Amino acid sequence: MNILVCVKQVPDSEGLITIDDEGMGIVFKGAYRMNRYDEYALEEALRIRERGDADVVDAVSVGPRRAASTLKRAIEMGAADGIHIITAEEPRLTPFETASLIASYARQKEYGLILTGIMAEDDMHCQVGPMIAELLGYPCASSVIFEEHRGGGHGLRVEREIEGGRREGLELSLPAVLTIQSGINRPRYPALSNVLRARAQKLIEIDAASLAPPAPRERLTALRYPDIAAKGVFLEGTTAEKADALYRALHEKALI
With cut-offs at 50, 70 and 90, classify the pLDDT of residue 55.
very high
Look up the CATH architecture of domain 2-211.
Answer: 3-Layer(aba) Sandwich (3.40)
With cut-offs at 50, 70 and 90, classify the pLDDT of residue 22.
confident
Residues 179-198: pLDDT tens digits?
A: 999 999 999 999 999 999 99
> Comparing 38-42, 176-180, 220-224, which segment has the lowest mean pLDDT?
220-224
pLDDT value at residue 254? 81
Give the three-state DSSP class for 63. strand
Write the DSSP assignment of 186-220 as a string of letters. -PPPPPHHHHHHHHHPPPEEEEGGGG-PPPPS---
pLDDT value at residue 7? 97
Cis omega (within 30 of 0) for bond into 175: yes
**What integer is the mean pLDDT of 140-155?**
89
pLDDT value at residue 110? 87
pTM for this model (two decimals): 0.84
Q: Are 128 and 102 in contact (CB under 8 A)?
A: yes
d(CA 71, CA 126): 21
Would you list the domain boundaries of the chain?
2-211
Percent above pLDDT 90 for the chain: 67
pLDDT value at residue 34? 96
Cβ neighbour number for residue 29 with a 10 Å cutoff = 9
With cut-offs at 50, 70 and 90, classify the pLDDT of residue 146.
very high
Q: Is 30 left (phi over 0), alpha (psi -120 to 50) or beta?
A: left
- Closest Cα partner for 23 from 223, 226, 232, 169? 223
- Closest Cα partner for 132 from 110, 115, 154? 115
How many CA within 13 A on the CB side of residue 145? 10
Percent above pLDDT 70 for the chain: 100
pLDDT value at residue 212? 85
Model confidence at 91: pLDDT above 80: no
Q: Are 59 and 116 in contact (CB under 8 A)?
A: no
DSSP β-ladder status, 140-150 and 56-63: unpaired
Cis omega (within 30 of 0) for bond into 11: no
**What integer is the mean pLDDT of 105-129?**
94
pLDDT value at residue 58? 97
pLDDT value at residue 51? 93
